[in-house]
Each structure stands twice: as structure tokens, then as C-alpha cells.
Amino acid sequence: MTIKEKLKKLLVEELNLEDMTPEEILDDAPLFGEGLGLDSLDAVELVVLVQKHFGVEIKDMDEGRPALQSVASLAAFIEEKLAK
């Protein structure tokens, strides 16, 4: 499973997005506001999920905000951190 695929699966399963399948989430769809419509509580839950499933830490929301824009941006962030 690619990082993007795993992230989509996590979004659906861990955030209980029951009305969607992972395949329906577009790589570049905004996660917050419009798009998936997640909120600030989902954001911090996502930070924990990224820590738990990828071992990558998001230290604060200055770092987090750009990374959490979309599945694509988050995957890129994770890849970059894992490469270090």
C-alpha cells in the first residue's frame, strides 16, 4: 500500500467517515473546510495517527497546517521525514 492509500484508509476508518470509501478521496482534495470537511479536532487526531502509523512527529500546528492540507501534501511531508 502506498502512503497515500494508507492515509486514505486511515481517514475513513479512524475518523469514522462512514459515508465514503478511501478510493473516493482525491489526492488533492482539501481535508479541512470544504472538501472532506474535517475540523480542528480531526486535525490533532490525524497528528496522532501519523505518529502511530508512520512514526513521524508533527511538532506543532505551524508545521502541521501546510502538511495537513490534503492527502498529497501529508504524504509528501511523511516521505520527507522518513527519508531523514
Q: Which residues sit at the interface with other proteins, rule CB under 8 A?
A: 15-19, 39-42, 44-45, 47-48, 51-52, 57, 60-61, 64
Alpha carbon distance 27, 80 (integer Å): 17
For residue 11, give the C-alpha cell: 481517514
∠ CA 32-74-4, rounded to 5° = 105
Residue closer to other proteins, measured from CB, 3 or 43: 43
Residue closer to other proteins, measured from CB, 2 or 40: 40
Shortest separation between residue 72's beta carbon and other proteins, angstroms: 23
Q: CB of 25 within 8 A of CB of 36?
A: yes
Residue closer to other proteins, measured from CB, 18 or 34: 18
